[in-house]
Amino acid sequence: MRGSGSGCRGVFGLSEICLLRCSTTANWTPFTEQMEFLKSKSSSRLAEVKKLVDAGWQKNAFNQYVSDMISVHRSLPDPRDEWCKAPNRFLEDLPQTSVIICFHNEAWSVLLRTVHSVLDRSPSHLIKEIILVDDFSDMEHLKQQLVDYFSDEPRVKIVRAKKREGLIRARLLGATHATGEVLTYLDSHCECTTGWIEPLLDRIARDPTTVVCPVIDVIDDTTLEYHFHDSGGVNVGGFDWNLQFNWHAVPDHEKKRHKNPAEPVYSPTMAGGLFSIDKKFFEKLGTYDNGFDIWGGENLELSFKTWMCGGTLEIVPCSHVGHIFRKRSPYKWRSGVNVLRRNSVRLAEVWLDEYSKYYYQRIGNDKGDFGDISSRKRLRDNLGCKSFKWYLDTIYPELFIPGEAVASGEIRNLGYGGKTCMDSPARRSDLHKPVGLYPCHRQGGNQISVHGRELCLDSACKPEDLHKPAGLWPCHGQGGNQVKIVAAT
């Protein structure tokens, strides 16, 4: 099995298609062209393929059929800026890392491509081991078949959870088996590019309290094409008062610190799936809140405490890792528990100080049962961490603080009897539609704030945009041509 690439399917007489189309290079025939090719064959074969394609989408929420046709050792473009390739850019003596990849029912070719991309594109002395944490998968290919496949690669270790643990506990399970000085977490549907690990380890070698994230490139969920931008397009992580992670452009105060856009940039938060951290520093920070369940909030917890407790969080533009972004989650979870809210309330209680009220307002002040947080508060005290106000003022000054708005309320047109107010639709599908005027209803609602989502009044501003309507866009916190629609407080 090893070295045979993804193993073209010979089923349904399609082997000739594999021979023609299974390229081991990045120059891969677009899926639509393949379908055209297939149409020239008999319609019953086409129907069989379509069935397989649909089944792959159903199981994974990405195009598994296409992934299975691409080599697990495929070559990728080198997305790095020239600055990254300068001699002696990174330290010679770098710490070894354990790469921890958690998965639950991941597709065979996608998981293998993740692992091979690490082995194929990292200097071997820097990879202490790759720990595959199986979060209680039931797909057959992830059992003995996976063990057999990696049987002669001693650096690949497989750890199995005894029940479904969720991402947070699975990551911690991986950490308990790790022997490297640095932990590097990856999702199980990633591909590392040339030179991805050295710039991450370099930052930690220089200062072990630095937590680093690669730039996350997009692997197309339909075609598996690899998309990337140069360092000028790098974004940093933020969050909104629903405690949802978001991305924003590198702010001016941060740009001023750099001579070259490829230098590591401070990021207020991390997306959470892909990062490297010194193992001892991770332990000192108390890893993740052990009261967190399954998924969600852990990325903000680690971000806040990294900054507040003496560390630094950076995005490293010289390091690129591709990730398949799915439009839905293919996994089942027990229903009836609002896990994300529980995690977020614990996060707010422990780390947000007086700013927690902005989150609570957004969940109707219904904190629910969030368990015991005393040990997490003690951790914060023992580490002597700084205040959330310090974090906001120093690390994330571009975040809008609802209580600091100069005014809040309805916007009323005083002409013609003063009975019309600015109003907006607020469903996700209404985004980017113009705002308009409706009779004032004095009920707040969409005439004062767009509930549950951080949307801003935004207008185009070029001369040719004159007379075009203003509309709602996700807030970018950069001022410019956006005005915030604030909640009444």
Q: Which residues bind Mn ion (CB under 5 A)?
A: 187
DSSP helix/strand/coil, 429? helix
Please identify, using beta-carbon distances, which residue of 187 and 217 lies nearer to Mn ion.
187
Calpha distance 132→146 (Å, rounded): 10
Q: What does each C-alpha distance from 380 to 85, 310, 375 come to in angstroms?
A: 40, 12, 9
Minimum separation from the CB atom of position 294 to Mn ion (A): 14
CA gap 183, 168 in Å, rounded = 14
Nearer to Mn ion, 209 or 244 (CB): 244
Cβ–Cβ under 8 Å, residues 485 and 450: yes
User: 67: helix, coil or strand?
Assistant: helix
**Token pair recorded at residue 141:** 């290919």
DSSP state of 409: S
Task: For the CB of residue 189, give the shortest distance to Mn ion in the complex, in Å.
Answer: 6
Strand partners, 52: none
- Closest to Mn ion by CB, 133 vs 426, is 133
- For the CB of residue 107, give the shortest distance to Mn ion in the complex, in Å: 13
Sequence-ordered list of residues with C-beta below 8 angstroms from that of 111, at least 6 positions apart, any chain = 101, 103, 132, 142, 146, 188, 189
Three-class DSSP category at 473: strand
Nearest-approach distance from CB 348 to Mn ion, in angstroms: 25
Label residue 475 exposed, middle or buried (CB < 10 Å: 0-12, 13-18, 19+). buried
* CB half-sphere exposure, 299, CA atoms < 13 A: 24
DSSP string for residues in 9-45: --GGG-HHHHHHH--SSS----HHHHHHHHHTS-HHH
Residue 190 or residue 352: which is nearer to Mn ion going by CB?
Answer: 190
> Judged by CB, which is closer to Mn ion: 187, or 454?
187
Output the smallest distance, CB 447 to Mn ion, in A. Answer: 38
Residue type, 398: E
> Which residue, 246 or 387, is less far from Mn ion as judged by CB?
246
Q: How far is the CB of 132 from Mn ion (least distance, A)?
A: 15
For tokens 């790098």, the residue is 234
Query: Considering beta carbons, is residue 294 or 426 the nearer one to Mn ion?
Result: 294
Distance of CA 303 to the CA centre of its chain: 13
- Residue whose pair of structure tokens reads 């801003």 in the numeric block: 456
CB of 326 to Mn ion, least distance (A): 7
271 vs 457 by CB, closer to Mn ion: 271
Closest to Mn ion by CB, 247 vs 370, is 247
The rounded distance, in Å, linking the Cα atoms of 167 and 273 is 9
From the CB of 469, what's the least distance to Mn ion, in Å?
Answer: 37
State in angstroms the smallest separation of the CB of 76 from Mn ion: 18
Give the Cα separation of 455 and 433 in Å (integer).
12
For residue 26 the two structure tokens come to 């990045």
Q: Which is nearer to Mn ion, 221 or 314 (CB)?
A: 221
The distance of closest approach from Cβ of residue 209 to Mn ion in the complex, given in angstroms and rounded to an integer, is 26
Shortest-Cβ-distance residue relative to Mn ion: 187
